[in-house]
Each structure stands twice: as C-alpha cells, then as structure tokens.
Amino acid sequence: MIHFLATYGTQLLAKTGQHLYISAAALLLGIIVAVPLGILLTRMKHGANFVMTLAGVLQTIPAMALLAMMIPIFGIGSTPAIVALFIYSLLPILRNTYLGMQGVSPTVRDAAKGMGMTWWQAMLQTEIPLAAPVIMAGIRLSATYVIAWATLASYIGAGGLGDFIFNGLNLYRSDLILGGSIPVILLALLVDYVLGKVEVAVTPKQIR
C-alpha cells in the first residue's frame, strides 16, 4: 500500500478529484430537477404515474449503453458522464420526494390552511420539513449509486477512479484494481455518513 501511494499518490488525488466532481455535478443536477418535480407530481392527479414510470425505464438502461448514447451528443469527457449519471440519479430522489410529500397528513395541510398560510408557505414551512427525512433518504441512495457508477465514466475519457480499476483489469494488476476500488468504497461510505448527518439536521425535532 505504501509503495502504491508513493508511486501513484499524485494520480490518486487527481483521479479522486475527478470522481468527486463528476459525482457531485450529477447528483446536484438530480436534486435540482427531481425534488421540485416530485413535489409538483403530488399536485397532479394525472401524469404522475407516467413520469414515475418513465424515470424507472430510464434507470433500467444499462449504464454502458447510456454512456455510449451520450457520446454522439456530447462527445467524450466529463460532460456525457455527468448527463448519464444525472439520469441515473433521478429515480431514487424523485420517488422518495413524491412518497414523502404524499405521506404528509391531510390534517397537517388543513391545519396550515386554517392558520392562514398560503400554499407556498404551507409547503415550505410544514410539508417539506415533514417530508425531509424521506427525501434525504432518496438523495443518500442516489449519491451511493452515482459514486459507484462514476467508475464507468473512465470508458468515455472522463477520468476518475475507474481509470485505476480498468487499467488494473487490462494489465492484470491487483494493486491498481484495489487502488481504485477502495477509494470508491470509502467515498461512498463517507458521503453516505455526511448526508446522514444532514438528514438528521433537516428532520424536525418532533419527528426525531
């Protein structure tokens, strides 16, 4: 391990940075799109099932096939990888946002309306805080998926820790395979831990 770090330490830091950048960009886009869309779907009597089904279908596309489909549109590099991982990140966040908002008791909505809150105030001050634990659970799951799948971005020239893994497979070198795999696992565990703390922080004390 010490020999590996001495030889590839600089590359490891650079590849880890690339991996984090690709994963964070895809996850952030997923949150920006899926959370508002999930909230909107709870207000739509028609169309919610279609959107959820479509998101589910997109996630069933094999990762390598989806990455390959991005190349004619975006070329090679980090952009097609981010777009593909963004698509993969949508379903867990969208589903949990929808279920979390649907799970808010109608009594709470009626109480907020009775207090004179507008639709927007009721959503921000009561519904979203109550749904926050379920939403954050979806974000945590999506983050773990994205970090794992980001290793495949190496195939389209996006870099990341997948470079070590696939170079190791091609050269039959276990040190390169482990040098890429272990940091990916540690990143996934660390991000899940941090997001778990965020989940606790955004959960109302009464629910905790």
Domain edges within the chain: 2-202
CATH architecture of 2-202: Orthogonal Bundle (1.10)
pTM: 0.88
Q: How far apart are CA 123 and CA 129, in angstroms?
A: 8
What are the tens digits of pLDDT across the range 74-114? 888 889 899 999 988 888 999 999 988 888 877 877 787 77
Which helix (H) or strand (E) element contains residue 151?
A: none
3-state secondary structure of 162: helix
pLDDT at position 57 over 90: no
Nearest one of 135, 133, 146 to 188, comparing CA atoms: 146
Cα-to-chain-centroid distance, residue 176: 26
pLDDT at position 208 over 60: no
3-state secondary structure of 97: helix
Q: What pLDDT sits at residue 66?
A: 82
